[in-house]
């Protein structure tokens, strides 16, 4: 590994309120206040944005047990190509990551083949069944950075309360997939005009909002950080806005498909438009963008959910939920939030991908301060390009964004001073 001088870039580091044209130095895999003295590489970052390595806290790597969809190696390659130096993998694997043995196996597997930093999340409950707490303390010792039953939602409020209380003992964040099963029933798309027209079972907004409210109440009661994953509803934004104004430790996350698409796209019956929570109406999209603009939603993520071709190539109501996201999310958010709607500027976008997720999960990432790991992303915010799914590093191809023209993308990803991907 050679030392680096990254010259002439616009360095944006919200963790130290830095936004200026300058040079960045990397010595022995760490950010340095002084330039290297010998045997260094120079990277010209003119017209590029230099940021702390981006962090995605919502990724499904499918390993162990579902390697026909994705592996830690292929998923981490996709992350690097999307500009991410750190990702948090969800525990809904086979078997679930609900014990220290599986967590250790994931960590060992990542250390052997991952291109980026992989942080495991542990399950809230055993088998993701929502009935009995998983051994949270043992999983903390094995290296988890959060707990979640993502893909599932704990319906028993008493179990969830005890898990939240227990997580607080370890200063651990709780990430929650907000879905009331009784309210949602067999819903496969947003309940509204298009579900009626298409004859598909509806997934009402209330099915998300009820659990968002539950989490707000528990965060207030237990004084523990709770993070609501992949918000999709205007009502969820209103609830979150009010709770945060009252100082409650509750945060929310936005995924790109929930502002890039609406439920009208489902009229094609293309299963690549099927995700959980579902694509919603135009008024929800507008509310989500407003929630980002006013600071209600503070974290961006992908919910990268790979599925094999044969799994998606079935009737809409039988197909699994989820789409790819790691290689398109940054470009979609740049295109929609920064360029098209101007809801936020570049510095705010970088904040939502770096110091905000790092602070939530207590990760020693998201900064370019001296002594920090040299995890760095170089972004061309104005690069116009077309996404082609056949070029993806993922093992799967389930994306609705094939052929989309986008503006802005990462052009180089550096982890611990080593370039792991460049355009």
The residues that are catalytic are: 303
CA angle 153, 157, 163 (to 5 degrees): 80
Distance CA 142, CA 104 (A): 6
Residues 6+ apart with CB under 8 A from 175: 57, 58, 121, 146, 147, 148, 150, 226, 227, 229
Structure tokens at 203: 């997934």
State the Cα–Cα distance between residues 396 and 389, nearest whole angstrom. 9
Alpha carbon 285 to its chain's center? 18
- Are 288 and 277 contacting, i.e. CB atoms less than 8 angstroms apart? no
CA angle 418, 31, 60 (to 5 degrees): 55
- Structure tokens that stand for 398 in this block: 């389930």
The CA distance from 206 to 191, in Å, is 10
Beta strands 117-120; 376-386: pairing state: unpaired
Give the contacts of 57 (CB within 8 A, at least 6 positions apart): 87, 88, 146, 175, 227, 253, 299, 301, 357, 360, 361
Is 183 strand, coil or helix?
helix
Spatial distance between the Cα atoms of 60 and 276, rounded to a whole number of angstroms: 13
Scan for tokens 């509806």, then name that residue: 202
Maximum Cα–Cα distance for the chain, whole Å?
68
Triad 256, 262, 263: Cα angle to 5°: 130
For tokens 């100082």, the residue is 247
User: To which residue do tokens 């005009």 refer?
Assistant: 193
To which residue do tokens 């993922």 refer?
A: 394
CA dihedral sign of residues 336, 256, 251, 155:
positive
CB–CB of 399/324 below 8 Å? Answer: yes
**Encoded tokens for 307:** 């599925």
C-alpha–C-alpha distance, residues 236 and 204, integer Å: 12
């Amino acid at each position: 590994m050679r030392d680096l001088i990254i010259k002439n870039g616009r360095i944006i580091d919200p963790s130290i309120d830095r936004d200026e044209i300058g040079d960045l130095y990397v010595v022995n895999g760490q950010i340095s206040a002084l330039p290297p003295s010998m045997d260094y590489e120079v990277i010209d970052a003119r017209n590029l944005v230099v940021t702390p390595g981006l962090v995605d806290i919502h990724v499904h790597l499918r390993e162990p047990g579902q390697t026909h969809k994705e592996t830690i190696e292929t998923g981490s390659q996709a992350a690097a190509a999307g500009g991410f130096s750190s990702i948090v993998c969800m525990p809904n694997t086979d078997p679930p990551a609900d014990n220290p043995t599986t967590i250790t196996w994931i960590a060992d597997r990542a250390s052997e083949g991952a291109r980026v930093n992989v942080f495991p999340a542990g399950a809230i409950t055993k088998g993701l069944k929502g009935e009995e707490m998983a051994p949270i303390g043992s999983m903390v010792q094995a290296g988890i950075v959060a707990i979640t039953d993502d893909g599932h939602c704990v319906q028993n409020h008493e179990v969830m309360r005890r898990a939240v209380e227990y997580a607080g003992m370890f200063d651990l964040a709780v990430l929650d997939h907000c879905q009331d099963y009784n309210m949602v029933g067999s819903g496969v798309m947003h309940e509204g005009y298009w579900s009626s027209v298409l004859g598909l079972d509806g997934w009402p907004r209330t099915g998300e909002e009820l659990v968002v409210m539950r989490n707000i109440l528990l965060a207030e009661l237990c004084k523990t950080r709770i993070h609501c994953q992949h918000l999709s509803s205007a009502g969820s934004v209103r609830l979150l806005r009010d709770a945060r104004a009252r100082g409650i430790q509750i945060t929310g996350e936005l995924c790109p498909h929930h502002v890039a698409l609406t439920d009208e796209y489902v009229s094609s019956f293309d299963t690549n438009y099927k995700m959980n929570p579902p694509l919603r109406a135009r008024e929800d999209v507008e509310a989500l963008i407003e929630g980002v603009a006013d600071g209600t939603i503070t974290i961006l993520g992908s919910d990268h959910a790979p599925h094999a071709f044969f799994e998606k190539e079935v009737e809409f109501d039988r197909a699994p939920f989820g789409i790819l996201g790691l290689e398109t999310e940054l470009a979609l958010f740049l295109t929609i939030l920064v360029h098209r709607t101007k809801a936020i500027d570049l510095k705010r976008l970088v904040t939502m991908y770096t110091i905000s997720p790092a602070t939530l999960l207590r990760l020693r990432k998201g900064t370019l301060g001296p002594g920090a790991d040299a995890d760095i992303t170089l972004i061309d915010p104005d690069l116009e390009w077309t996404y082609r799914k056949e070029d993806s590093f993922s093992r799967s191809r389930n994306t609705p964004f094939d052929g989309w023209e986008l503006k802005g993308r990462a052009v180089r990803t550096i982890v611990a001073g080593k370039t792991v991907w460049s355009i």
